[in-house]
Structure 1
Amino acid sequence: MTKPVFLITRLLVLLMIWSGYSSCSAIRRTTNSQPITHESWDQLVKKHVKADGFVDYKGFIRDSVALNRYLDQLSAVHPDDKSWTRNQQMAYWINAYNAFTIKLIVKHYPVESIKDIKKGVAFVNSVWDIKWIKIQEYTYDLNNIEHNILRPVFKDARVHAAINCASYSCPRLRNEAYTPEKLENQLEDAMKQFLADPLRNKITTEKAEISEIFKWFKGDFDRDAGSLIAYLNKFSEQKISDKTELKYLNYNWQLNDIP
């Protein structure tokens, strides 16, 4: 292949990829589907996620039949934004993000970090850009779920404490499924636990060493509470002032496997 033809071909491929992403902005679908229960996911995380949020990936591998059965349930039913309630949709997408992330690790286990999985995959910036999640006739990547659905559609910054990126510095993976009936309390508790977790956030009146999540998505927290400090004070037992020094802890992408 000559160089000009190669460059044109590469450009066309990149344009196709870009158009696929650009069409995913704030995804809403009408699919005439019915909500599912998340009982099987609840059983799996109760069994394989410890109280401290670390994950027994070997246990998930042993239970791969049950994990795949739950993922098949998710894949068969796409949320319908007209007939599903807001809580039904949001619980579905949080559980889907977490369950497909577990599947990604299980598929490539052992890995030192989720970031290692993107190696050898062409035309993607990160593991979160790999399009492999099939839900009815649609195909998503993890970034689609987080940045094109959960964040822009539901506009609730507590979601950052509910989804888990399989890494040490991530908020703990909850060892129960998110459900429409308990969603409000679960999201409230998740953010409070995240801020109280000394492995991820260390807050005193003099200095607040907080997760980089609060830097990366500062706009979400500002939107919900008026400012980042106001948001922290809403969910943290330790209150801070405008004079409190804010520092961001380096994010540890090591796999959140059980010690």
Structure 2
Amino acid sequence: METEEPVIMQQLAGRITVYSLTGCLHCLRAKAHLTKMGLPFVEVNVKENPEIHQQIINLTARLTVPQIYFNNIHVGGNNDFMNLSEEELASLIDTVKNNPVPLDAPPIPEPGDVKEKEPRKELKSKRDEYADLILEFKESGIIGNHWSCLRMQQNSFSGKKLVNWLMEQKNVDQDAAVDIAKELSARKYLNPLSVKGFENSDALYRLIEHDFAVSLNTGSTAEYNAVSASKHSEAMRDLTLKLFSEHITPDGKLVDYKSMLRSPAFEEYCKLATLLQRLDIGSLTRKQKLAFFINVYNALVIHGNIKQGAPKNTWQRYKFFNSVSYVIGGEIFTLQDIENGILRGNRKGIAQISRPFSKSDPRLQVALEEAEPLIHFALNCGVLSCPPIKTYSAEEIDQQLKISAAAFLDGSDGCQIDVSKREVRLSQIFKWYKIDFGGTDERLLNWLFEHLGDSPKKKALEELLKHGDIKIGSLPYDWSTNSKD
């Protein structure tokens, strides 16, 4: 069996600096390429160093990562680095080999600025006072299969049997038992199958953890209450990013989802996902909804890849996005429900013949009043042409989404402008969801101009807009999965 030759790092008088972000595939590929060439580098995580990140944005007029410097010479992103000619690369290497770091080189954190990372805080609040009661009820033998409306309802029980069990086991009268059962329903431990609310009758019920067998976060009791929807989703997202970065191939090209499945961190993540079952999402503000559902969507995509495998063709993708789901606040949400039902204000998605939620669907109460076009640059569907994975917070969601949009448009996969041909070529996201960007070519182009960062690309678009008659084309969309099979 052949083994790879160990890489011998070269001695540099200067410095190669890579400004990166955890979980960024392009960053990983650039770092892997430098390592393969035996070139040592200093990595600066822009999320952990926001002030330095802003300085790099000011210097480069780019919001994307990585940004690579050889001493004070800005190379650009990973694509720029990979496309260097042999002569250009040799010249850059010669510069850092023989010349010390100049005074005008980009900043890196000072040794005293590097803070020890605080251990991640547990997001469990106090244990729910009814958790033990539910665990006892699960072992009571009352839950079983019952006929209702000519259909067998698995893992169900009648309201009357629950009340009788509470009276016997807790030594309370009937009125008190009914009150307890109503509280269990209000706390989203159980769902009615044919009536609204709780009735002391033969109407059937099912524990929420049993109610949606296909969902990825059911099968066990949510014993603890999540601290808040926004903080909970951020914790899930951060843990998923950690998993993502720890189980990626050295070249940054593929993710080993199978090894994620065996990771202790994934087990911890699943516990967080279970808490979504009874999470209160009814009172979320617009900003909280955006941050919460974007984070949950991105986490759910990776969870689906881990448990079910990555979809490899059009039919598998359709099935994946219409079936992979979480139970959140007692209701089931697929990826399609989150994207098109919640974040796009209940608009039809690709290949959908109707809106995700009917007028009587309780999930409609959570949907945004209007579609938010910026979500298209925050949702990562697990393929190479999707925007990068990030974590979003409710407090800064609008600014974060604008930055994500500008970063996506700054990249060659998002937007290309050819002034000589008077052509703007865009990601197919703009074709599929054109209605979200105004519905007409004119409104789409104006939206682009408004959301492009200050850059040569924006100046080129401004020049084209002055004269009109602009052709809009589509860029290839790479559906290749990043899964290591």
Corresponding residue of 1:102: 302
TM-superposed CA distance for 1:39, in Å, is 2.6
Number of aligned residue pairs: give it. Answer: 213
Identify which range, 234-243 or 188-197, moves more after superposition. Answer: 234-243
The 1-side partners of 2:424 and 2:242 are apart by 32
Corresponding residue of 1:17: none
Residue pair 1:225, 1:231 contacting (<8 A) in 2 also: no
Partner residue of 1:193 out of 392, 407, 417: 407
Corresponding residue of 1:151: 344
TM-superposed CA distance for 1:75, in Å, is 3.3
Residue pair 2:236, 2:295 contacting (<8 A) in 1 also: no
Residue pair 1:224, 1:231 contacting (<8 A) in 2 also: no
Corresponding residue of 2:451: 235
TM-superposed CA distance for 1:70, in Å, is 2.9
The 1-side partners of 2:331 and 2:429 are apart by 29
Deviations 1:23-48 (A, max 9, x none): xxxxxxxxxx9534123422431562
TM-superposed CA distance for 1:66, in Å, is 2.8
1:44 aligns to 2:246 (yes or no): no
Corresponding residue of 2:17: none
Deviations 1:175-197 (A, max 9, x none): xx211112112101110111111
Residue pair 1:97, 1:145 contacting (<8 A) in 2 also: yes
1:67 aligns to 2:269 (yes or no): yes
Deviations 1:78-128 (A, max 9, x none): 411xx322111111111111111111111133x46375646xxxxxx5321
The 2-side partners of 1:78 and 1:54 are apart by 38
Deviations 1:224-248 (A, max 9, x none): 9971001111122423223332110
Corresponding residue of 2:79: none
1:84 aligns to 2:284 (yes or no): yes
TM-superposed CA distance for 1:77, in Å, is 1.1
Find the residue that maps to 2:327 and give its secondary structure.
Answer: strand
Q: Structure 1 pair 194/114, CA: closer, same or farther in 2 (3 Å)?
A: farther
Partner residue of 2:471 out of 245, 249, 252: 245
Q: Any stretches of 5+ residues in structure 1 without a counterpart?
A: 1-32, 119-124
Residue pair 2:372, 2:436 contacting (<8 A) in 1 also: yes
Q: Any stretches of 5+ residues in structure 2 without a counterpart?
A: 1-226, 346-367
Find the residue that maps to 2:241 and give its secondary structure.
Answer: helix
Find the residue that maps to 2:426 and give its secondary structure.
Answer: strand
Kindly indicate which of the two structures has a greater share of residues assigned to helix: 1
Residue pair 1:41, 1:70 contacting (<8 A) in 2 also: no
Give the root-mean-square deviation of aligned CA atoms: 3.0
Residue pair 1:40, 1:66 contacting (<8 A) in 2 also: no
Q: Normalization by structure 1: what TM-score?
A: 0.71
Find the residue that maps to 1:190 and give its secondary structure.
Answer: helix
Deviations 1:165-216 (A, max 9, x none): 1111112222xx2111121121011101111111343234333221111011
Corresponding residue of 1:168: 384
Q: Structure 1 pair 43/218, CA: closer, same or farther in 2 (3 Å)?
A: same
Structure of larger gyration radius: 2
Amino acid corresponding to residue 312 of structure 2 in structure 1: S
Find the residue that maps to 2:229 and give its secondary structure.
Answer: coil
The 2-side partners of 1:170 and 1:147 are apart by 17
Deviating above 6 A after TM superposition, structure 1's stretches of 4 or more consecutive aligned residues are 223-226
Corresponding residue of 1:202: 416
Amino acid corresponding to residue 402 of structure 2 in structure 1: E
Corresponding residue of 1:178: 392
Amino acid corresponding to residue 319 of structure 2 in structure 1: S
1:56 aligns to 2:258 (yes or no): no
Percent of aligned pairs with the same amino acid:
24
Find the residue that maps to 2:425 and give its secondary structure.
Answer: strand
Corresponding residue of 1:212: 428
Find the residue that maps to 1:253 and give its secondary structure.
Answer: coil
Q: Normalization by structure 2: what TM-score?
A: 0.40
The 2-side partners of 1:72 and 1:115 are apart by 30
Kindly indicate which of the two structures has a greater share of residues assigned to strand: 2
Residue pair 1:74, 1:96 contacting (<8 A) in 2 also: no
